[in-house]
Structure 1
């Protein structure tokens, strides 16, 4: 099984995706609650600026201090990663690839060379499951594609080899 997926086509920057490292990415989402919880869009730049600003203000008021280490919190987070089921929103990678203005759809190419074509807006809402119960998707992975509205929750697109933006 090849765990590398290509994102290419009508893009400024073709991208190679490696789902094996996404477990360490802060953008990952908990798949078990993704379709049942309410999602709100967060502007990453604004959130980062606010976080840095709060930290700076605290340092000015109190001086530099290191947060206390809470081993139980660290242990919980480690356990969550080792046993969790996680997905990654596809939009981050599509946005980084910078599709051409003429791009309207995404072609999902699977292992058996079958193609599934979806609109670019559907692709931007989609998520890629990459970890199930703490384990990578070895048999029919490396990722499963789910529509953002969950309409294929019972039958995800599996065995994905590459994404082609057209």
Structure 2
């Protein structure tokens, strides 16, 4: 039970978080590459047109090529999950707890201190939950990473709960 965290306080619903099941969540992000990727803001219509054009050009030049079998893709994905370092955005969990309209901050409780953040900042947190395929048992169950990656080498550790104020 020490791996279970709660979001409580000035919320409509108290939320229970179990990081052990997030490995199966499609919202997970690879923490090894997440903070180094260039964030592109593009027109989705333009991106779609370019992708279709590229595919069409390749088929004209090379002929139709069928994708690899799902078996090889599943094997690659399974290996990635077993060896990767992952996190998950915190925003969906905060939104599901439905903070009260007058809620202003998030209190992060660790084993040694309490740290208060503005709620708008907390919406951008990434909760790291695995390192090289293993759960964070010694200083976890989660680590908090800021959206800009400024604390990626020294995340907030030993978290035991969250309280909305």
Whether these two folds match at TM > 0.5 is: yes
Alpha-carbon distance in 1 for matches of 2:39, 2:16: 27
Unaligned segments of structure 1, at least 5 residues: 42-66
Q: Secondary structure at the match of 2:121?
A: helix
Structure 1 residue ranges (4+ consecutive) displaced by more than 6 angstroms after TM superposition: none
Give the equivalent residue in structure 2 for 1:138.
137
Q: Is 1:18 matched with 2:21?
A: no
Alpha-carbon distance in 2 for matches of 1:28, 1:74: 17
Cα RMSD between the aligned structures? 1.8
1:111 is displaced (CA, Å) by: 1.6
Which TM-score applies when normalising by structure 2?
A: 0.80
Which TM-score applies when normalising by structure 1?
A: 0.80
Matched residue count? 140
Greater Rg by CA: 2
Give the equivalent residue in structure 2 for 1:77.
77
CA distances 1:69-123 after superposition (whole Å, capped 9, x unpaired): 52111100000000011001000100010100001110000023x1000111110
Unaligned segments of structure 2, at least 5 residues: 42-66
1:68 is displaced (CA, Å) by: 8.5
Alpha-carbon distance in 2 for matches of 1:156, 1:72: 35
